Amino acid sequence: MFVTGYSERGLLNSLIYEIRYSDQPVKLLEKLFSLFNFPFNNPVLLPIDEAEMLIEQSFSDFGDADLVFLIKSKGKKYSIFTEAKVKNYRGIHREYQKFIEKIDSKVASSNIFVQLYFKVRLTSALKFGIKKLEDGVEFPASSSKPSASTPVRKIGQNKVVLKAINLLKNFIDETYYITILPDEENLLEDFYKKILKNSSPNLYVEWNTMNYGYVSWNKIEQFCRDNNLRNTLKLFEYNKGLIY
């Protein structure tokens, strides 16, 4: 029996489940983490003692997260929000340009920097308690129209979302944000170090990229080859031409 998954969602599901049900899941997860590049920071993410992963978790008005890692390591607890895009997205430079241009809400929902920014504001508010998220967090208007009002985003009352929030609140002393993108590694490195590092969009409060990082799909596929993750490799083949 074989289950086929489409695009980045299918790949991430397969990758995480294949790691989880391997003979050495923690060792494999540590290898995966070693691929992450953090240009502005040098976080100590290893060793991993315990791990829990949330795939496609909704956070209500703060958007869905493609993947969240909740990690225990030598008495430390931290989280990693992961957002992934495939070949049909705009490319890292255009994506960022749209982000700083005060984009309309239709585009905003799929812009990777908006998605990351929502998670930054989510975790920042959560440090003050769940009530802060229930009362609402003010965001800059996502539309360039002068009449657009500043939206207030709330966590809502969905029981499964609140389960995730209650879990996440224990892992926000340190939070990191990883993008998985089809761009080449050298292009991503160039963008992060030359553009993102020096950016300061006036529109966005609490803008801080210190804990931002990246990894290319190319490296993820090579990781699967090196560790014989055959099911996920089949999905790379099935989605050939779409991922990168």
- Asked if residue 123 has pLDDT above 50, the reply is yes
Between the CA atoms of 44, 47, 50 and 53, what dihedral angle is there, to the nearest 10 degrees? Answer: 60
> In the prediction, which pLDDT does 198 show?
82
In the predicted model, what is the mean pLDDT of residues 198-203?
77
Query: Within a domain: residue 215?
Result: yes
> Quick check: is 12 in a domain?
yes
pLDDT of 167 over the 80 cut? yes
**In-domain check, residue 2:** no
Structural domains of the chain, count: 1
Which residues does residue 55 pair with via DSSP β-bridges, in sequence order? 67
Strands (E), 104-226: 137-138, 152-153, 174-181, 212-216
Statement: residue 233 has pLDDT above 60: yes
**Is 244 among the domain residues?**
no
Complete DSSP assignment for 50-112: EEEEEEEEE-GGG-EEEEEEEEEETTEEEEEEEEE--TTS--HHHHHHHHHTT--HHHHTT-H
Q: What is the pLDDT of residue 143?
A: 47
Nearest Cα neighbor of 165 from 96, 86, 82, 68 is 68
102 belongs to a structural domain: yes
| Residue-averaged pLDDT of the chain | 91
**Overall size of the chain counted in residues:** 244
Question: What is the span of the domain harbouring residue 94?
Answer: 7-139+150-238
Q: Tell me if 144 is assigned to some domain.
A: no
Confirm whether 116 is domain-assigned: yes
**Contact of 179 with 112, CB cutoff 8 Å:** yes
pLDDT at 107 over 70: no
